[in-house]
Structure formats: C-alpha cells, structure tokens
Amino acid sequence: MNGLATALITLLRRDLILALRRRQDALVVLGFFVVVVSLFPLGVGPDPQLLRSMAPGVLWVSALLATMLSLERLFSDDFRDGSLEQILLAPQPLSLLVGSKILAHWLITGLPLVLISPLLGMQLGLDGTEILTLMAALLLGTPILSLVGAIGAALTLGLRGGGVLISLLILPLYVPALVLGAGAVDAVMYGSSAQAHLSLMAALLILTLLLAPWAIAAALRIMLD
C-alpha cells in the first residue's frame, strides 16, 4: 500500500473509531431526525392523506436539519486539539484527506438517516415504491449534504456562533438537493417516473464530489493561516 492510500484509510478509520467511542454524537443526529419527523403528525393532525402528501418534504427538510446539527463538529474538534494543523502538514494532498473525513462523516450521520427513512416513511403513510424512491434519493442526496455542509463548516472554523453561521451559509445551498429529492418521491406518488430527478441528483453529486473537497481544502488553509 502506498503512502496516500495508507493516509486516507488511516484518517477514515480514525474518524470511525472516534465516532464509535463517542456514540452519542451520531445518535443525537439520528434521534433528532426521528423526533422532528414524528412531531409533524402531532402538529398538522392525523389526516392520512395530508400526511402522505407532505411526507417527502417533511422527511427531506428533517434530513437537512439533522445534517446541519452534525456539521459544526466536523472540523472544530480537530481544530481545537491541533490535529487539523497536523493534517495540513501531511505530505498528502489536503483535498483527498478532506474527502476521507467527509466519507467518514457521511457513514456516521448520512447513512443512518438513509437506513431509518423507510420506517419514518411508513409512519407517514408512504407505500413500497415511494419508500424505495425515498431511500434512493436520500442515498444520492445525503453525501451532497455532507460535502456542501463541510464547505460551511470549514469557512466558519474558529468563529464565535459558528453553528448558526453554518446554517445561514449552507441551507440556501441545500435547495437543489431538497427540490430534487422531495420531487423524486412526489413524482412517484403522482404516477410518473422518478428517473429524471434521480439522474439530476446523481449529476449534482458528481459535481459536488469534484468541486467541494477542493473548496474545503482552500477554506481550511485560509482559516488556519
């Protein structure tokens, strides 16, 4: 194994081990997602038809908010204890190392949201194909949330009230993912195909995958200067 692969796998493993030893962080995000989605029926009333038509939007907005919750700590822990400086000094390209950290973030926070979404979909009255579409859309969409969110996390590193600032900075950038993701489930619900939405979502994922790590690396260098 060469040095680059070793470094990337090491960083990924490190973040996963840390998440395992601080399990409450990941569980809080998941719990938040479940609670917010479950509050809607209490708020708007138990009309099944209404809940069903609202479900895609509710699930997606909740997923966005849950992701926001986890972003602040993405780089700030490493920043505070000095690990981030050491990552910047590593002989490997920073954008790839950052990619490794984001993959870990997605595995810890994004993937659990995807996995629990069928349960919440059923709770809101979605049927089989709609739930499958929801999962596919979340599977393509949550990595986008992690990647774009990481740009905000990097830009607000070390600032007071960084968490609120991330939300203001990043939530508008989440609009395309939200529209496409909720739209995919809506399309299936009204009898057409979700293929267009999912293809666009995949294209968006590829685009952010290409651009975000580079932007994050640049932001980190500036914030640590």
Partner 1 sequence: MSHAAHVVFPAHRLDVEGLVAERGERLLIQGLGFSLAGGELLQVAGRNGAGKTTLLRILCGLSRPLEGRICWDSVPVQHLEDGPAAHLAYLGHTNALKDELSGEENLRIQSALQGRRVGRDEAWEVLGRMGLGGHEDLPVKFLSQGQKRRVALARLLLVRRPLWILDEPFAALDVQVIEVLRSALEAHLAANGMIILTTHQAVPIKGRQRTLTLGKAA
Q: What angle do CA 202, 207, 208 make, to 5 degrees?
A: 100
In whole angstroms, the minimum distance from the beta carbon of 218 to partner 1 comes to 13
CA distance 204 to 123: 29
Q: Does 102 bind partner 1 (CB under 8 A)?
A: no
**Contact window for partner 1 (CB under 8 A) among 18-26, 46-54, 135-143, 172-180:** 18-26
When the beta carbons of 13 and 35 are compared against partner 1, the nearer one is 13
Given 35, 44, 47, 85, the residue binding partner 1 (CB under 8 A): 85
In whole angstroms, the minimum distance from the beta carbon of 221 to partner 1 comes to 8
Tell me if 142 sits within 8 A of 106, measured CB to CB: yes
Given 27, 35, 44, 81, the residue binding partner 1 (CB under 8 A): 81
Q: Does 127 bind partner 1 (CB under 8 A)?
A: no
At residue 91, φ and ψ (nearest 5 deg) are -75, -5
**Contact window for partner 1 (CB under 8 A) among 17-25, 35-43, 52-60, 103-111:** 17-25
Q: Does 17 bind partner 1 (CB under 8 A)?
A: yes
Helices (H), 82-174: 83-89, 94-105, 111-123, 128-155, 162-170
Q: 106: number of CA atoms within 13 Å, CB side?
A: 20
CA distance 162 to 17: 25
Given 28, 30, 34, 83, the residue binding partner 1 (CB under 8 A): 83
Question: Residues 113-141, buried b or exposed e (16+ Cβ, 10 A)?
Answer: bbeebbebbebbbbeeebbbbbbbbbbbb
When the beta carbons of 77 and 135 are compared against partner 1, the nearer one is 77
**Which residues of this protein are in contact with partner 1, per CB under 8 A?**
3, 6-7, 10-11, 13-14, 17-18, 21-22, 80-83, 85-92, 97, 224-225
